Amino acid sequence: MVDTMLEAMVQRKSETESTAEQKKIKLDISDLTVSYGKEAAISDVNFKIYENEIFGIIGPANAGKTSFLKALNLMNTFDANMKVEGKILFNGRDIHQLKNVYALRSRIGVVFPLPVGLPMTVYENVALSPRLRGIKDKASLDEIVQRCLQRSALWDEVKDRLDSLGSLLSGGQQQRLTIARALSQEPELLILDEFSIAVDPVTTMRIEEVLKELKNEMTIILVTNLVQQARRLADRTAFFLEGECIETGDTEALFNGQVENSKTTDYIEGRFG
């Protein structure tokens, strides 16, 4: 009797282990080309991003990193000049065929390089997305605001001034506010585009700790021009150069020189870019 229970437990454990090994694919990108007018920002990009990993994207300026992010979020519907070709499978479904782009965007949280504190109070900044989803009940909003601010490591600093303007916070605080705002969307995918540009090193470290925890609940894409930040955080990393994805691979392997293209090592070691 006890034996069979034990056996069942062992079996269940091995099941979870095996599912952890064959990770679920969150994003499957194939032949993705993004162009503005006649100029291609990225061309023929192919890779997969797994669930619950931090996927780093490194590369010099003008490599097409931000264009890639914009394509994920279907920002081309707001920019007539921007053209996206190729396939992006989100949870196995092609995002160019979905009917409700707004719902997709709300499942994807984005944090920009420079913090964009919307011109409203701290509370309203975080409550905006839930409100857009139709949540009106004050108690649930309060709960969401507190939870998101706590998870972005900002709660202790702003809990007494939730009604002051978000734009009056310091740069680092504003960036954590935008992270809280992104979290309030309850995203499956969190995109951070060079989030630490306007943030001091201490805050950067705090946010990095937060990201490591968030990884358990969502998939994170981390675009960064600090290669060491990618090394600290990313499970796998892609190297973009001049609109092409040169290679993707296990972060440690890339940093240890196991690369297909020597340019990757050159960039990582600071020989150009």
Partner 1 sequence: MSVESMSVEAMPVENKLTESLFAESQLNVKNKKIQSLYRVLFLMMTLLLILPVLIILGTLIVKGGSMISIDFLFTDPINGMTEGGIFPALLGTVWLVSLALLISVPLGIAAAIYLSEYASENWFTRAINLAIINLAGVPSIVHALFGVGAFVMFFGFGTSIMAASLTLAIMTLPVVIVSTREALQAVPHAFREACWNMGATRWQTIRRVVLPNAVSGILTGVILEVSRTTGETAPIMFTGAAFFLPFLPQSVFDQTMALSLHLFVVSTQVPNVPESLPYAVALVLIGMVLLMNSVSIAFRMYLRGKKKW
CB of 79 to partner 1, least distance (A): 10
Kindly state whether residue 185 participates in binding partner 1, applying the rule CB under 8 A. yes
Kindly state whether residue 73 participates in binding partner 1, applying the rule CB under 8 A. yes
Kindly state whether residue 102 participates in binding partner 1, applying the rule CB under 8 A. yes
Among 25, 40, 89, 116, binds partner 1 (CB under 8 A): 116
Kindly state whether residue 226 participates in binding partner 1, applying the rule CB under 8 A. no
CB of 231 to partner 1, least distance (A): 27
Closer of 67 and 264 to partner 1 (Cβ): 67
Backbone angles phi, psi at 187, to 5 degrees: -75, 155
Closer of 42 and 182 to partner 1 (Cβ): 182
CB 49 within 8 A of CB 257: no
CB of 256 to partner 1, least distance (A): 35
Kindly state whether residue 114 participates in binding partner 1, applying the rule CB under 8 A. yes
Kindly state whether residue 132 participates in binding partner 1, applying the rule CB under 8 A. yes
Closer of 76 and 251 to partner 1 (Cβ): 76
Among 83, 87, 105, 206, binds partner 1 (CB under 8 A): 105
Among 33, 66, 76, 129, binds partner 1 (CB under 8 A): 129
- Point out which residues bind partner 1 (CB under 8 A): 73, 75, 78, 80, 102-110, 112, 114, 116-120, 128-129, 131-132, 165, 167, 178, 181-182, 185
